[in-house]
């Protein structure tokens, strides 16, 4: 937050809002809230932060309003169930909250900090993401059941003509759409096609200037490193982030080590059911990696200030990627980069984009598949595909 030169972190597990100063990054304050501290939105005009939290019997759902200048809680607005997403409209001095479990959204007046309207959604449920288009005064509410985007303007509901899923392919087809539009071709892809593996990553903050190291180095191991019960590695790849001064303070270097594994169930199970064992295993892998790095850079161990280990369970938690895959489908022999269908048989007005329709994955897959999807929409709607068109078309509100 530029105005207060601070960083606000919603920590759902600790049930608190944590405040950090930027330089140096240090905890400077915290505000106790309820469990599941979640989405936040900043009201820059009033320097207020709206934070959704709570939602179980012991901790009723609320939206905290925090004065960021004095780091104090100025209001705690009760809502029916947990607030999943928040948006703000400085023009009309309103905040919006998606209250997914009650199929409604709430409008909050940022002046009085009170709820001024509730609106129930009737055509779709599980309304989690929210976005506000200030220019057109349109509130976009995305629902998961069924996958629908609703645009709301002045009490009117506009059902989306098109729904584009950029989310994980397996979740979209088999969970969100309940497998209703699976044909044999889709089944074959998800049953047979190869996936990029998942991975652990050991990240180290080292208080050494490692500018003499290469950017990447592979270490061949004399005895294999056991990552999990199904994975042994005979070499390790290190990356030394010594090529850009913004990665670490002067005299220090960020170093990462990537450890591929396909045993995502092992790590998921550990994280869910054996949290202590999970931490121990992560620690063991980190120690083994540091031992190997020590052989390359004697003395590095004593200079390590930060150790962070992510696992396939982390990948799944943060990206939702099927099986914790790093980047979706492998390129099948002979099939090259040929894209997969971006539509589902029997589901109209629906398209998919991203790595799950473009084997080989990677960041370019997002742009390439988005372009293909836009072209298809333009063709269907008989609108010229013009990348330079500047005028956005305002959707026509439709009464429900
Ligand atoms: C460590 C690492 C390094 C990489 N390095 C490179 C690189 O150097 N170059 C490169 O080109 N690529 C790289 N990649 C791959 C690249 O990041 C991905 O291929 C790319 O981000 C895929 O884009 P996407 O839009 O398809 O999916 P994502 O970027 O994964 O976006 C999908 C979004 O959907 C959300 N989502 C998932 N499931 C649901 C659901 N059920 N409901 C709602 N939302 C959901 C996710 O939270 C996510 O925000 C790397 C990947 C990793 C993991």
Q: How does pLDDT run across 73-107, given as a tens digit for each residue?
A: 999 999 999 999 999 998 889 999 999 999 998 99
Long-range contacts of 285-288 (CB under 8 A, 24+ apart): 285/200, 285/202, 285/227, 285/259, 285/309, 286/202, 288/225
Residue 67, domain CATH: 2.130.10.10
C-alpha of residue 343 to centroid of ligand 1, in Å? 20
Q: Do residues 146 and 258 share a domain? A: no
Give yes or no: residues 16 and 69 share one domain. yes
Same domain for 139 and 235, yes or no, is: no
pLDDT digits (tens, 9 = 90+) for 216-245: 999 999 999 999 999 999 999 999 999 999
Distance CA 56, CA 326 (A): 34
Q: Are residues 80 and 143 in the same domain?
A: yes
| Position 101 in a domain | yes
Compute the distance from residue 327 Cα to the ligand 1 centre, in Å: 7
pLDDT at 64 over 90: yes
Arithmetic mean of pLDDT over the chain: 91
**Pair (232, 86) in one structural domain:** no
Question: What is the spatial distance between Cα 144 and Cα 178, in angstroms, rounded to a whole number?
Answer: 11
**Pocket-forming residues, ligand 1, beta carbon under 6 Å:** 166-168, 171, 176, 319-320, 326-327, 354-355, 361-366
Q: Is residue 165 part of a domain?
A: no
**Residue nearest to ligand 1 atom 27, measured at CA:** 354
Ligand 1: nearest atom to the Cα of 363:
11
Residue 134 and residue 221 in one domain: no
Ligand 1 atom showing the smallest separation from residue 361 Cα? 19
By the 8 A CB rule, do 211 and 254 touch? Answer: no
Quote the number of domains for the chain.
2
Residue 180 falls within a domain, yes or no?
no
Residue 109 belongs to a domain: yes
The protein residue whose alpha carbon is closest to atom 24 in ligand 1 is: 354
What's this model's pTM, rounded to 2 decimal places?
0.72
Q: Domain residues for 146?
A: 6-160
Give the pLDDT confidence score for residue 399 in this predicted structure.
41
> Does residue 23 sit in the same domain as residue 140?
yes
pLDDT for 313-329, tens place per residue? 999 999 999 999 999 99
Pair (133, 225) in one structural domain: no
Examine the fold and report which residue of 264, 298, 324 is the final residue of a domain before the chain moves on.
324
């Amino acid at each position: 937050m530029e105005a207060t030169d601070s960083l606000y972190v919603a920590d759902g597990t600790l049930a608190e809002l944590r405040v950090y100063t930027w330089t140096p990054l240090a905890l400077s304050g915290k505000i106790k809230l309820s469990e599941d501290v979640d989405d936040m939105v900043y009201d820059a005009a009033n320097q207020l932060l709206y934070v959704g939290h709570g939602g179980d019997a012991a901790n009723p759902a609320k939206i905290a309003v925090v004065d960021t200048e004095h780091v104090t809680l100025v209001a705690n607005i009760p809502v029916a169930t947990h607030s999943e997403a928040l948006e703000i409209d400085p023009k009309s001095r309103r905040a919006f909250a998606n209250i997914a479990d009650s199929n409604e959204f709430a409008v909050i007046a940022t002046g009085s900090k009170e709820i001024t309207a509730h609106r129930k959604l009737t055509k779709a449920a599980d309304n989690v993401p929210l976005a506000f288009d200030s220019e057109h005064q349109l509130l976009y509410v995305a629902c998961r059941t069924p996958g629908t985007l609703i645009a709301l303007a002045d009490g009117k509901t506009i059902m989306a003509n098109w729904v584009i899923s950029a989310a994980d392919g397996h979740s979209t087809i088999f969970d969100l759409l309940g497998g209703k539009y699976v044909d044999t071709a889709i089944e074959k892809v998800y049953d047979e096609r190869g996936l990029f593996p998942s991975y652990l990553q050991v990240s180290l903050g080292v208080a050494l200037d490692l500018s003499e190291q290469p950017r990447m180095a592979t270490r061949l191991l004399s005895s294999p490193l056991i990552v999990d019960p199904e994975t042994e590695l005979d070499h390790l790849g290190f990356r030394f982030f010594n090529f850009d001064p913004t990665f670490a303070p002067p005299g220090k270097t960020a170093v990462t080590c990537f450890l591929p594994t396909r045993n995502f169930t092992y790590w998921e199970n550990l994280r869910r059911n054996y949290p202590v064992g999970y931490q121990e295993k992560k620690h063991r892998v980190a120690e083994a990696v540091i031992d190997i790095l020590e052989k390359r850079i004697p003395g590095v161990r004593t200079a390590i200030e930060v150790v962070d280990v992510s696992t396939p369970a982390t990948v799944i938690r943060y990206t939702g990627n099927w099986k914790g895959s790093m980047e979706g489908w492998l390129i099948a022999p002979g099939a090259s980069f040929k894209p997969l269908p971006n539509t589902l048989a029997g589901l109209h007005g629906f398209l998919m984009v991203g790595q799950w329709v473009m084997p080989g994955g990677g960041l370019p897959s997002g742009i390439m598949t988005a372009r293909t999807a836009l072209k298809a929409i333009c063709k269907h709607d008989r609108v010229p595909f013009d990348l330079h068109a500047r005028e956005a078309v305002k959707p026509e509100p439709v009464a429900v």
